[in-house]
Amino acid sequence: MPRGYVALVLHAHLPYVRDREDDFSLAEKWYHEAVTETYIPLIHACQRLHRDQVPYKITISLSPPLTAMMADTLIQEHYRRYLERLRELAAREVWRTRNDPRFHIVARMYQDLFEKTYGTYLAYGGNLINAFRELQESGNVELITCAATHGYLPLIGLQREVVRAQIEVAVNNHRRLFGRPPAGLWLPECAYNPGDDETLRDYGLKYFFLDAHGLLYAKPRPRYSIFAPIYTPAGVAAFGRDLESSEQVWSAQEGYPGDCDYREFYRDIGYDLDFDYIKPYIHPSGLRLDTGMKYYRITGKSNYKEPYVPEWASFKAHTHAGNFLFNREHQVNYLADYMDRPPIIVCPYDAELFGHWWFEGPQWLESLFRQVAGLAHRPFSFITPSEYLERFPVNQPATPCMSSWGNNGYNDVWLGGSNDWIYRHLHHAAAEMIRLANQHPTAEGILLRALNQAARELLVAQSSDWAFIMKTGTMVDYAVGRTKKHLLNFWDLTQAVDKYELDPEKVQDLEEDNNIFPDINYRVFASK
């Protein structure tokens, strides 16, 4: 038996964005960038490890809004056009930089990246669900889910029916797409509200994740701190985030991503190059945007930047993976001396850190698995939470405290002066949805479609992303607009239901505009 275990967990999530009219949608570009820079590079890294028979274990949470976008044929077509523009730009850049070796090697790197991305995208028919199902079947990747629209459960869950709907829709969606129910769930923002674990248990979920203080302030205090899970009163396992490993990977100031040789995220040719040259690859309005092609390294804290050197960055990724291995080995050895079981160090991160924000992140991850596998005596083993619970089914019972992994550790980010106004509207709409679900237990025809669409509109309005964007001050108008849009759609539908004045064309238009969860049943909001 190994001295200890490391569980790497990546949470992949983006807000649900789908624009029927505009494949240059600024919001949809979030998805395009993440596919190119994070999701497909992670798929490639896992495929190479599997091909080379390198043992690895990783848990990936794929949120329902993200999987809905992956499976949507319209968004697939928008992304294909986006990627084709990138391929064209990369080819032009290889020619433009041909006489400057400092930038030519970087342009060739991007061209190679985009061509491989395009090949993979076509190989899976544009649907990355197929790629992740393949990784799942390999036995190395455990796929789990998140709440239906990443709703911040402690704040939207005034009515228990809301929490149940968010969980039931997520579990059903995951089973439909991946052929099996999820064993675990990533609580949106790692936000735990005592009692929500009962709902997780009712839908067959075995575990979830909390920030460290969610476990450290549990009652009674956990004997093994955050280095073993606890069982909540409902019997669901709660795993705590390790602070030390998180800081090393997450922090741009104190962690690996801030190294001087890594790619500078905030310097893009979309802003640097001549406008007439770059115009076809930014926004049709002429708004300068990131293209994803960035030629400089971090260098230092000043605005002065040196050219990016891929070889140096790859070497640093390998070195930092070795440092992470070294630190986890010492951490495991220290903890094992004080525990009567092997400790588990849980390392959860936003997936988009790897590749998008930290360009070398997928290289770091692959190097970490390869270095551990190459050791004659492995200092720890990688494991998934499900495997850990199978090996150690007996764990301490305790009640976690309300918590999140947001700033200050609780609800501050999602409940402040910039966004608190949304909750009275969400609670009011939820009460109305519950009433209608109870009042119409066997709806059919246009009534069924209208109630299903009302459920979709409410779920998307409940997304924690809108409150987060309002708090951070980026694209506030968009977040406010999305919240109001979905709530207005909801009230238009529900009032038409009450008046028996449903317009089939209007219902169809809303169904086509917001088609998330095609198999949803509005009865998920009914009181049980």
Whole-angstrom CA distances from 153 to 164, 292, 381 are 10, 34, 33
Residues with Cβ within 8 Å of 4's Cβ and at least 6 positions away in sequence, in order, are: 331, 332, 333, 335, 336, 342, 343, 344, 345, 379, 380, 381
- Model confidence at 253: pLDDT above 90: no
* pLDDT of 438 above 90: yes
Q: Is 56 helix (H, G, I), strand (E, B) or coil?
A: coil
pLDDT in tens, 109-145: 999 999 999 999 999 999 999 999 999 999 999 999 9
Angle at 342 between CA 337 and CA 345, to 5 degrees: 100
pLDDT tens digits, 90-116:
999 999 999 999 999 999 999 999 999
pLDDT digits (tens, 9 = 90+) for 162-176: 999 999 999 999 999
What residue segments make up the domains of the chain, in order of their start?
5-408, 415-525
pLDDT tens digits for range 13-53: 999 999 877 667 777 899 999 999 999 999 999 999 999 99
pLDDT at 252 over 80: no
Q: Kindly report the CATH class assigned to 5-408.
A: alpha beta
User: How many CB atoms neighbour CB 419 within 10 A?
Assistant: 22
Q: Which residue has the higher pLDDT, 23 or 284?
A: 284
Residue 349, pLDDT above cutoff 90:
yes
Per CATH, the architecture of 415-525 is what? Up-down Bundle (1.20)
Name the E strands within 164-264: 184-186, 207-210, 230-231, 237-240
* Tokens read off for 295: 């030629």
3-state helix, strand, coil in the chain (%, to 5): 55, 10, 35
Count other C-beta atoms under 10 Å from residue 441's C-beta.
8
Quick one: pLDDT at residue 488?
Answer: 98
Task: Report residue 287's pLDDT band, with 50, 70 and 90 as the boundaries.
Answer: confident
Structure tokens at 357: 């924000």
Beta-carbon count within 10 A of 266 CB: 11
What average pLDDT does the structure give for the chain? 96
Burial class (CB in 10 A: 0-12, 13-18, 19+), 275: exposed
Q: Region 269-297: what's the mean pLDDT? A: 92
Q: Give the helix ranges, DSSP H, for 290-337.
A: 310-336
Specify the pTM. Answer: 0.96
Are 309 and 297 in contact by the 8 Å Cβ rule? The answer is yes
Q: Please state the length of the chain.
A: 528
Please report which confidence band the pLDDT of residue 528 belongs to, taking 50, 70 and 90 as the band edges.
confident
For 298-334, the pLDDT digits (tens) are 999 999 999 999 999 999 999 999 999 999 999 999 9
The pLDDT of residue 23 is: 66
What tens digit of pLDDT does each residue of 195-250 get? 999 999 999 999 999 999 999 999 999 999 999 999 999 999 999 999 999 888 98
Q: How many CB atoms lie within 10 A of CB 375?
A: 10
Least confident of 237-251, 297-311, 451-465, 513-527: 237-251
Cβ partners under 8 Å of residue 33, min gap 6: 290, 292, 356
Interaxial angle between packed helices 64-71 and 128-137, expressed in degrees from 0 to 180 and rounded to the nearest 10: 120
Shortest CA distance to 490 belongs to which of 525, 447, 456? 456
